[in-house]
Every structure is written in structure tokens, then in C-alpha cells.
Amino acid sequence: MRRLNRKKTLNLMKELDAFPKVPESYVETSASGGTVSLIAFTTIAFLTVMEFMVYRDTWMKYEYEVDKDFTSKLRINIDITVAMRCQYVGADVLDLAETMVASADGLIYEPVPFELTPQQKELQRMLQLIQSRLQEEHSLQDVIFKSAFKSASTALPPREDNSLQSPDACRIHGHLYVNKVAGNFHITVGKAIPHPRGHAHLAALVSHESYNFSHRIDHLSFGELIPGIINPLDGTEKIASDHNQMFQYFITVVPTKLHTYKISAETHQFSVTERERVINHAAGSHGVSGIFMKYDISSLMVTVTEEHMPFWQFLVRLCGIIGGIFSTTGILHGFGRFVAEIIFCRFRLGSYRSTSVPLPDGHTSNHLPLITDNSTH
């Protein structure tokens, strides 16, 4: 009884078989079929390797929402070298709320030579090359996000001691915490002093001939400091053509949350436009000589997330590649054999075309000669 039930079960499973097997004696192999099979297997192998490379890769997903955080402080990371002595320049921040943040709250004035060492020049050239490529190919920013905390530091290497080179510039570096509103970070002549209507700089004791606002921005960023992230102004160098010259940078800061497989941080991206002009009151070009960075905070926040293809999606795409190539090559091979049979069939019919046979009365017959038994002897 048990054997009978097993037999019925096997018969039922055979009836449900959606892939009927053809006996090998019914299968005919051919050179064309082998060639098509070889091409199909090669294509499947190539596309499988390419699909696996896509599966191993990741991409960055950008999501936008309104930034609802207006109470926290904004951190500004600064590393700027000005071609003037430290006692002649002052840096501070003044925002729209008329709140002044002095440089003494977090910035360091360090006398240094303005000329870079060969090692520092090499890093600056590398940064400038990366900046030019980023302006042409924006997708490289995703590569920078992925390599955060993994790539080499973008900070200048320490200067080699050289007693023959006197410090003729001032390196202003450190960080400041400001209100999360639009503001103006500037470096100009004289130290800043606050007063009820804003602030002023003591520039009367500095001669105009000593003005030189040639500068180099080694680093400028907003928010959390993330090694490996290259910001738009990193590596920028400007040489002043006149003593009374104003350099302006108009910056739009975008709050950014970065979530990758390596880090999770809150930082800020920014875009910048530049302008420079010579101060000449007689020609109508008014203003104050110095370096002015006017920043504005965007109301939108960007969330950048690194994503990876799910394994089930990889299997579905892989099955689609294998099944699609087998089906496509089978159809093409069948169509090719159909066309070849039609062409060869015409050639075969042409080989049996009619022949002319002379008759005794001088006429010809186009019919094929009748073959009799006597003709074989």
C-alpha cells in the first residue's frame, strides 16, 4: 500500500513537471548551434562579472528637507595666510543680528613666511587640480564623500625650519562658533574693537604702503571638521595687484548630514562666487581693503546616504541576464537557420532546372529525359 502511494505521488509530480526532458537520441547537435552556445556563454560570463562589479559598488542618495534647527551654533574652521604681519591685521565675524565674534575667541595668529616649501607647493597644486576637476565633473563629489576619513589629510604638511627666511606673513587658523544666521567674516587692517553701533578696526597707525592682502586659503569649512573632505576654497591663492584691494567671497552654506558605511557626521557644504576690485575713492570704487567672506545659511538641509544594491536584487538581475541571453540567442539561432534553409532550398531547386533534348524532326524538348530500365544497360 505504501509503495502504491509512492508511485501515485511520483506520477503526480511528473504531471506537474513544467520542464519536460527530451531524450538525448532526439537531440541533434550542429556546428552553428555550438558557435551560438559559445557566444552565449561568453556573453553571460562577461555580463555576470560586470553585474558583480555593480553589486560591489555603492552610490550616494540625496534627500532634501527643511532645516528646522535655528538654535544651534555654526562652527567655522579657518586656516588663512595673509601676506602682512600679524600686528597689522585683525579678523572677526559680524552677523545680521549685530553680534560680533572676535578672533580671540578661537583663532590663532602665527607669524610665518608667505612662500611655501616645495612639499607644500606640491600639495597646493594637487588641491587646485582637484578643484578644477570638481568644477567639470560634479560626480567626483560622491567619491570624496565615500573616501572621507580614509583618504590622506588635506592640511598642509608642517613647514621645514629655515632660519634664513623671516616671517613676513600671518597665518590665522582655528575655529569660531557663530549664530546660525547670515554673517560676514573679514580680515582687514588693524585689530577690531567693539562699540555700540557695531565695531571698528584700528587702521590709522598702519601706512597704506604696507597694505598687502595677498592671501592663501589652506582650509575653510563650516560645521564638523571631517578629514578627507575637500571644500571649494581649499588651495585658493590670490595675489594683490594693488595695496588698496578688496577680495570678496559670497558663500551659500547648505547644512548636510552625511551617512556612509564609514562615518556619520553633520557637516555643511557650500558654494562660492568671488569678486575682487581695487579701492579708489576718486574713481567711485568705495570700500575697505581686506578679505571679506559673506556667508548665508540655506533653509534646506541635505541628507547624503551611501546605499548598496540588495542581494535579492542582484540575484533577480543575474537571473534576468542568464535567461534573457539564452532566450535571445535561441530565437536568433532559430531565425538564422530558417533563413539559411530558405536560401539553400533555392540553390537546390536551381540545380534541378530543366535541360533541352533534341528530337528527330529538329525540335527540342525541355522535359527531363525519361529513364528506363534499358538505358541502364
Q: Are 235 and 200 in contact (CB under 8 A)?
A: no
pLDDT (average), residues 78-103: 84
C-alpha span between 80 and 292 (Å, rounded): 12
Q: What is the mean pLDDT of residues 266-295?
A: 86
> pLDDT for 229-250, tens place per residue?
888 888 889 998 888 889 999 9
**What are the residue ranges spanned by the domains of the chain?**
68-298
User: Using one digit for the tens of pLDDT, what is the confidence trace for 250-266?
Assistant: 999 999 888 888 778 78
CA 55 to chain centre: 17
Per residue in 172-214, pLDDT (tens digit) is 999 999 888 899 998 988 777 766 666 667 666 777 777 889 9
At residue 207, the pLDDT reads 75
Q: Are 83 and 168 in contact (CB under 8 A)?
A: yes
Q: Please, what is the Cα angle at 60 between 316 and 124, to 5 degrees?
A: 140
Could you give the CA distance from residue 191 to residue 178 in angstroms, rounded to a whole number? 19
**C-alpha cell, 39:** 557566444
For the chain, what is the mean pLDDT?
Answer: 79
In degrees, rounded to 5, the angle at the alpha carbon of residue 189 between the alpha carbons of residues 187 and 191 is 85
% of residues, the chain, pLDDT over 70: 76
How far, in Å, CA of 190 to CA of 275, rounded? 22
Helix and strand numbers, DSSP H then E, in the chain: 5, 17
Q: What is the reported pTM?
A: 0.68
Residue 349 in this model has a pLDDT that exceeds 70: no
Task: Give the other-Cβ count within 10 Å of 98's Cβ.
Answer: 9
Q: Distance between terminal CA atoms of the chain?
A: 73
Q: Which H or E run contains 338?
A: helix 311-351
* Biggest CA pair distance of the chain: 137
Number of Cα atoms under 13 Å in the Cβ half of residue 43: 15
Dihedral (Cα; 45, 46, 47, 49), 10-degree rounding? 80
92 vs 375: CA distance, rounded Å: 121
Q: Residue 195, by phi and psi: left (phi above 0), alpha (psi -120 to 50) or beta? A: beta
- Residue 52, all three cell numbers: 558583480
Contacts 24+ apart (CB under 8 A), 67-74: 67/255, 67/297, 67/298, 67/299, 67/300, 67/301, 69/180, 69/255, 70/180, 71/180, 72/180, 73/177, 73/178, 73/179, 73/180, 74/177, 74/178, 74/179, 74/180, 74/222, 74/223, 74/253, 74/268, 74/297
Contact 326, 282 (CB under 8 A): no
For 107-151, the pLDDT digits (tens) are 889 898 888 888 888 888 888 887 787 777 766 666 667 666 555
pLDDT confidence of residue 372: 47
